[in-house]
Structure 1
Amino acid sequence: MRRAVWLVLVGIVSVQVGAAFAKDLFDTISPTAIVWLRLATSALVLAALARPRLRGRTRSDWAVVVGFGLSLGLMNWAIYQSFARIPLGIAVTIEFIGPLTLAVLGSRRARDLVWVGLAALGVLLLGFEPADLTVAGMAFALLAGAAWAAYILLSARTGARWPGLDGLAVASLLATALLTVPAIVTGGETLLDGHVLLVGAMIGLLSSVIPYSCEMVALRTLPPSVFSILMSLEPAAAALAAIVVLDELLTPLQGVAIACVIAASVGATRSRPVHTEPAPD
């Protein structure tokens, strides 16, 4: 079990380091184009590994995987738009409200309202120091959180209908196709730059391929409840990655706000384990 815990932690750090490197590239290429490069890299790797079988699928199978792909693409696009406007750690903290809300809504315990209040307090504290925040940045983070919640719900249905990595591979290809035109329009000739392509591929590996691999192996032995609690460390990992890679320092009050959301997420997942498909953010 200890090995599984370390694999999850490696995946969490990898996701957020990849996000930090992506943000560092925003002065060179648009967030939409970077998201496309990330999704394209992971889609190619997953398709090569899974080799999904497309024949014999029902309309319901396709409806579910299309919804899954839409939520995957929207989640990644929205959070990168948020990164471009507000600090990385704060964006991920606000995004985390999505799966946290899903966990609380799935519970009928009155005490879970405490976790809602604690998360609300964290978001409220962020508002006391709005210098680094924009309405658009916060709105995109909330949209990413809503898409993340949809991703969690649809991943369960996709997994039930598509074996192995087939559903995730198809969804990744659909999400990539969805963003292809916007990426070309906003990225232009920069998408042909060798350095940008190399860094984009690296971001795809860090933010998708490595975390997926770590989480898949870890979930074979790790209880879902433990996995969910470990995933609650995402905002802290994002804040740390932003400090190291981007030199984005948080104020003490913003640190307390992030701690409130993390504590709320841990409390909610301890009360009721939630579905734990890997989430690429």
Structure 2
Amino acid sequence: MYLGAAVAVRLFAELDPATVTWLRQLGAAIMLLAWRRPGRAAWTGRNLRLSALFGLVTALMNLAFYESIARLPLGTAVALEFAGPVLLAALGSRTWRDAGALVLVVAGVLLIADVRWAGSPLGVVFALSAAALWVVYIVLSKRVATAGIGLDALAVGFAVATVALAPIGLRSGPVWGSPRLLVLGIGVGVLATAIPYALDQVVLRRGVGRATFAVLLALMPVTATVTGLVLLGQVPTVAEAVGILAVVVGVALRAREPVRPDPR
């Protein structure tokens, strides 16, 4: 996911965030449709409605996040976006261990992201919108997973979202004359959407609850920090290192919840 994010940030120098978002959806849809080849049942009735809603919410979430990181420092945008899944995790807490895990994860995310409220107010609005949409994404991800249509829902939903956002695609003229931009744009879809969201479905079908899933998402800042260290030479500060440790410990505590395998 963060390899895809790194490519997307570089594309912002040549394409606007909305166009990159549309190319991301296009790339993910092409890959998943070629892989899954959903049958007729996936394109009709309740399955189609649920998949379409899932795809549109995911596309809007990605659009809001890309618009936010075009206006705010990445750390600020990530910290604001994490308000969504952290709140969902808080609502799912039932024990002191859950509460302790949540406190550790929140503290760790804040340390890693180094929250700063400076920047564009519109960027903050986009980041908070992404946070709200992330909560809806988690809820819908669990629903399509338990319905047994998870991967097909990704393929159908992303295809629907690509068509629905086609007006954005009309602004992608320079892409079609540049094989490099086209490959990079579609590559973002494969790296940042198709692969990680397909893995989300694998995890959710194994019976992981929404609250646990939300806290596990807190590993993303840790992954971003490691990616920055390896690929960009960004050495974590002491505060960031403490934050990584807090997130790992918090996730370990929350992940002790028994996992109920899917009987299917």
Note the alpha carbon deviations across 1:170-192, whole angstroms, 9 max, x for none.
Answer: 1111221232212323x343453
- The change in CA–CA distance for 1:247 and 1:87 in structure 2 (over 3 A counts) is farther
TM-score normalised by L of structure 1: 0.71
CA contact (8 A) 2:38 2:152 kept: yes
Q: Which residue of 1 aligns with 2:91?
A: 105
Q: Distance in 2 between matches of 1:142 and 1:257?
A: 26
Question: Secondary structure of 1:64's match?
Answer: helix
Q: Which residue of 2 aligns with 1:62?
A: 48
Note the alpha carbon deviations across 1:15-72, whole angstroms, 9 max, x for none.
Answer: 1111011101101011111111111111011112222224587644333222212211
Q: Distance in 2 between matches of 1:145 and 1:59?
A: 29
Q: Percent identity?
A: 36
Q: Distance in 2 between matches of 1:57 and 1:199?
A: 29
What do you get for the CA RMSD once the two structures are aligned? 3.9
Letter in 2 for 1:157: R
- The change in CA–CA distance for 1:246 and 1:78 in structure 2 (over 3 A counts) is farther
Q: Which residue of 2 aligns with 1:194?
A: 179
Instruction: Name the stretch that deviates more: 164-173 or 37-46.
Output: 164-173
- The change in CA–CA distance for 1:103 and 1:217 in structure 2 (over 3 A counts) is closer
Q: Which residue of 2 aligns with 1:153?
A: 139
Instruction: Name the stretch that deviates more: 234-243 or 211-220.
Output: 211-220
Instruction: Give yes or no for the alignment of 1:43 onto 2:29.
Output: yes
Instruction: Name structure 1 gaps, 5 residues minimum.
Output: 1-14, 276-281
1:81 to 67, 73, 76: 67
Q: Distance in 2 between matches of 1:261 and 1:179?
A: 39
Structure number with higher relative contact order (C-alpha < 8 Å, ≥ 6 residues apart): 1
Instruction: Name the stretch that deviates more: 170-179 or 87-96.
Output: 87-96
Q: Distance in 1 between matches of 2:174 and 2:254?
A: 45
TM-score normalised by L of structure 2: 0.75
Letter in 1 for 2:81: E
CA contact (8 A) 1:103 1:274 kept: no
Number of residue pairs matched by the alignment: 257
Q: Which residue of 1 aligns with 2:127?
A: 141
Q: Distance in 2 between matches of 1:168 and 1:135?
A: 33
Question: Secondary structure of 2:77's match?
Answer: helix
1:262 to 247, 254, 260: 247
Q: Which residue of 2 aligns with 1:9?
A: none
Q: Which residue of 2 aligns with 1:208?
A: 193
Q: Distance in 1 between matches of 2:122 and 2:243?
A: 19
